[in-house]
Amino acid sequence: MTRKNCTLGEFIIENQDSFQYSSGELSKLINAIRLAAKVVNHEVNKAGLVDILGAAGETNIQGEDQQKLDVLANEKFIQTLTNREIVCGIASEEEDDFISINSNDQQHQNKYIVLIDPLDGSSNIDVNVSVGTIFSIYRRITPVGTPVTLEDFLQPGKNQVAAGYVVYGTSTMLVYTTGDGVNGFTLNPAIGTFYLSHPNMRFPEDGRIYSVNEGNYVHFHQGVKDYIKYCQEEEGDRPYTSRYIGSLVSDFHRNMIKGGIYMYPKSSVTEEGKLRLLYECNPMAFLAEQANGLAIGGKNRILDIQPKELHQRVPFFCGSKNMVLKLQEFLEKYH
């Protein structure tokens, strides 16, 4: 067992043998994400002091207004990962297409691709509510030495070799998994170092928090409506507490620590769902399953879904195991 309060760098070195591809490349990749996260954290903490709040005046591929910090975070992560020459491709929620990276000395020799949501919850930036970064890492499936293709990015979530998020809140935390449990590291801003603060993070099997945008209740399908009513009934340990921040990273992080379920269902307005499978749902589902939780898109396990496009949207439910199983009972009544 790695000692609490060790640094992220020490943790990576001490636990490298638990990762099946222990060549050191993944360690370098996690370190690159750590560096970019510290840069973005520095910029987020300056919000309100310099001109980085508000809309950037452009829309992303999903048709959403980009915030200035969206653009900045996207640039910093792509720049850091590219300059370190440790990935062969990057896909970002803010980019129309994937980026193929050809290292000058390696000619596409790198084995990993990264998919990233550079700044999750950016609609909360202007009101000083926690935001985050979500990342997902895969080994490429096309031959090493050739440029990456779309096929490398359209892998089911069960193929992930690592995933995690950074939450920029009252403290800044980096939480990640390489398929051997989930660990959280808190940034000491005085010296710029992440320390292991939350070893072996796990969802309680039962929870008392449900997180959903109830303003969309009228548009939800009946199974979800029935489950929300179940959460509100006075019986046993219910009613549950409703808590919804509107930042996936923040809602997920709270529910993992306290016990709860997060729901972003499809609706009569968003028939395909709203959250992106590759940038949000797959990495969070991988984390959830590694932390004793569950993640489904309705009837199916999120990690089994075969992606069809880079910016595919799906319904998403994840959290404490027994809460997700109870939701599934309600959903199956209408299938």
Is 31 known to sit in a ligand binding site?
Answer: no
Q: Tell me if 27 is assigned to a ligand binding site.
A: no
Which string of DSSP letters, residue by residue, matches 194-256? EEEEE-S----SS-SEEE--GGGGGGB-HHHHHHHHHHHS-STTPSPEE---S-HHHHHHHHH
Residue 122 is assigned to a ligand binding site: yes
Among candidate residues 150, 113, 127, the one with its CA nearest the CA of residue 53? 127
3-state secondary structure of 264: strand
93 is in an annotated binding site: yes
Q: How many residues appear in the chain? A: 335
Q: Residue 217, annotated ligand binder?
A: no
85 is an annotated ligand-binding site residue: no
Q: Tell which phi-psi region holds residue 189, choosing left (phi > 0), alpha (psi between -120 and 50) or beta.
A: alpha
What span, in angstroms and rounded, lies between the C-alpha atoms of 251 and 260?
Answer: 9
Q: How far is CA 57 from CA 62, 280, 288, 295, in A?
A: 15, 24, 35, 35
**Is 128 annotated among the ligand-binding residues?**
no
Q: Is residue 273 marked as binding?
A: no
Is the N-terminal amide bond of 315 cis, ω within 30° of 0?
no
Task: Please check if 117 is assigned to a binding site.
Answer: yes
Query: Binding residue per annotation — 119?
Result: yes
Q: Is 35 annotated as a binding residue?
A: no
Q: Where are the alpha helices (DSSP H) in the chain?
A: 8-14, 25-44, 68-83, 150-153, 222-232, 248-258, 282-290, 321-332
Q: Are the CB atoms for 59 and 66 separated by under 8 Å?
A: yes
The strand pairing partners of 100, in sequence order, are: 89
Residue list for the binding site? 93, 117, 119-123, 213, 244, 274, 280
Residue list for the binding site for Mg(2+)? 93, 117, 119-120, 280
Residue list for the binding site for substrate? 120-123, 213, 244, 274
